[in-house]
Amino acid sequence: LLTDESCTIYDIPKIEDVTIIKTLLERIGAEVEESRPGTLRIQAGAIRNLTHQDLNDITGRSRIPITMSGPLLKRFAQAAIPKLGGCKIGPRPIDFHVKALHQLGADLVEDEDGEEWFKTATPLKGATIKLDYPSVGATIQVLFSSVLAEGITEIHNAAVEPEIMDLVAVLQKMGAIIEVDTDRVIRIEGVGRLGGFKHHPIPDRNEAVSWACAALATNGRIFIRNAQQSAMMTFLNKYRQMGGGFDSTDDGITFYRQNGALLPVNIATDVHPGFMTDWQQPLVVVLTQAGGVSKVGETVYESRFAYIEALRKMGAKITVHQGTMPEISHFKTRRAAFQTAEIHGSTPLRGATIEIPDLRAGFSYVIAALTAKGVSTLRNFSVLGRGYEQIIAKLQSLGVEIIEVRA
């Protein structure tokens, strides 16, 4: 959307989040061509603006469309504001996005139908933006909105996840001028236009962690092709401490259990380079099989332990406490924990019928089902298609007895 030239992206997975954005791009007139499996060529030349009707069709299914606001403001001087979708893991206000875009020159307005829009009377202009929290989504929003803005933009307290750095690399290929300092400051010098690009995105470290946890919980051995050690170092430290082993090569990483028994650990989630919030759900299941008491503090989202009730149904002994417990208070996180899960192991799990509420919790239930004695039924399984490509085929390739039952 930032250029009218052809852009080619390789190694694209067949997941729902990709389908949603592909559908939105096609709906507004962009050319989207799959030249071969996993490769998309996109050209957004003569396009129209997104409407609320376009967005309402995918409301509740993805939180990605909010990041389209900046590029659309540049093209049309207005952008429809979608409701944030995705996983139900606590409040995800768009306050960060609204505040940042306002500082760049956009206003939040409501039309006669009660629909909200970002609008600009003049082109966006560079500004110094200090994020209250290093939000990945808000950082992406400012990057998209400032690369073609007039003047200099500085993002203070920016997110610096590997995915952000990969996005910076794409924008730089297009002609953007972006500097990343060591103190979470990203400096963008606006340019007049951007060109096309060709890019291989980095591998999905969240999926790699999910399969690594499956190997550890079941005492199995899983090779994850293209998994990158450098993007998972904080996780791998905890993996070792728990008794996990891994062999890293240029082709990927093999995960397994180093010794017979698993050991408890204490963890506090945080923004990168801390322990990712998306990693705690699968790891909590592993910790139910560790001998002793583990504590996991969640500092990123307020309600990310809602999935634990289903694990209790399967036999897990987990108590959720409000706030930070002393055992994790020494972790140097951006903010204190909203909640802390106390896991008592080792606890045998038993099969159960469970409703999957969101993406990462869903995979944690898969791990629990693999670990449990008996048969488990996971309802709303299609949620996993948002972020895991061909998950049933992958499970079957590992020897899992799994049958998909369609209503």
- pLDDT digit string (tens) for 135-187? 999 999 999 999 999 999 999 999 999 999 999 999 999 999 999 998 999 99
Q: What pLDDT, on the 0 to 100 scale, is given for residue 93?
A: 59
Q: Of 74, 72, 98, 73, give the one whose Cα is nearest residue 84.
A: 98
**Ramachandran region of residue 330, left (φ > 0), alpha (ψ -120 to 50) or beta?**
alpha
CA–CA dist 122, 331 (Å, integer): 45
Q: How far apart are the first and last CA of the chain?
A: 38
Phi, psi of 177 (to 5 degrees): -115, 105
Task: Tell me the residue type at 371.
Answer: T
Q: What pLDDT, on the 0 to 100 scale, is given for residue 114?
A: 86
Q: Report residues of the chain scoring pLDDT below 50.
A: 85-92
Token couple for 49: 């603006």
Catalytic positions, please? 87
Q: What pLDDT, on the 0 to 100 scale, is given for residue 92?
A: 46
In sequence order, the β-bridge partners of residue 292 are 345
Task: Tell me the residue type at 36.
Answer: R
Q: Of 156, 189, 158, 160, give the one whose Cα is nearest residue 175.
A: 189
The model carries a pTM of 0.92
